[in-house]
Homo-oligomer: A and B are copies of this chain.
Amino acid sequence: MSTRPTDEGLALSVEVVVFGVDDSDLKLLARRREGEPFAGRWALPGGLVGGDEALEGAARRVLAEAGGVSPAYLEQLYTFGAIDRDPRRRTVSVAYYGLVRLADPRAPASAPEGGAAWFVASAAPRLALDHDEIAATARRRLQAKVRYEPIGFELLPRKFTLSQLQALYEVILERALDKRNFRKKILAMDLLADSGKVEADVARRPARLYRFDERRYRRLCKQGFNFEV
C-alpha cells in the first residue's frame, strides 16, 4: 500500500498557537522563522519533536524558546499532515493551542524576546506554510470551547472584574453581550469568589475584583454541573 516506510524523510514537529487578551483585542504570538523554507517570514512557534520528548513537552519547550512564554492553559488542537504542507520534506505537525495572561501586573511578557511578537488576531500578517490554517482552527476551537469550559479565566489576571470578563467573552465570541444578563448568569453559577478588593487607580467608581474558584468548580462538576456561557 504505502511505498515509503515511515522513517524515510518523515519529520514530526509541534506548532503552537498562543492566545492572549489585551483588554480589547485577541492577540496571538508569532515569530520570525530562522530556518528555510521561508526564513524571515512570520510563523507559529514550533519545532521538531525530540525522540525522547513528550508532545506537550515539546510544545512547552518551543514556547520557552520563543519569547519565554509559559501558557496557563495548553491543549492539543489537531494534527496537520497534508503531504505537501512543507515543501522541503514530509512533515507531520501536532498543533497545540495555549492561553496566557497578558495583562497581569502591567505586562511583563508583553514584549516577548527571541524574534517573537504579539499580533491582533484579526490583523496578523500572513504566516508561513499552513500556519494560517492552524491559527484559524485554533481560533474556532477557542471560540467553541470557551463557551462550555471555564478556560477564559486563563486569559485574565487572577483577580478580575466582571466587566473584564465580559469584555473577554465579547472579544472571543465576536459579539456584544448584555451586561445585566451576563452578570446574572455568571454569578448564578457560583464559581467566582469575591476577593473583597476593588480596582485601584481608576478615575471612576472602582469595580469589585473576583477570583475563579477552581475547587468549587471541580466540586460542582462532580455533581453534574455544566459550565456554559
Contacts and interface: CB of A to CB of B under 8 A. Distances in A.
Interface in A1-50: 1-13, 48-50
Contacts of A50: 1-6
A7 B52 CA distance: 11
A5 B3 CA distance: 24
A165 interface: no
Given A53-B83, A90-B51, A11 B1 contact: no
B4 A12 contact: no
B52 A83 contact: yes
A117 interface: no
Given A51-B90, A52-B83, A81-B54, A7 B4 contact: no
Given A6-B50, A55-B79, A82-B54, A65 B1 contact: yes
Contacts of A6: 11-13, 48-51
Nearest to A62: B1
Interface in A50-97: 50-55, 58, 61, 65, 76, 78-79, 81-83, 90, 92, 94
Contact of A51 (B10, B55, B58, B65): B10
Nearest to A56: B81
Contacts of A5: 48, 50-51
Contacts of A12: 6, 10, 12, 92
A3 B28 CA distance: 29
Nearest to A81: B55
Contacts of A94: 79, 81, 92
Contacts of A78: 76
A52 B11 contact: no
Contacts of A8: 51
Nearest to A58: B2
3 closest A-B pairs by CB: A2-B50, A4-B51, A55-B81
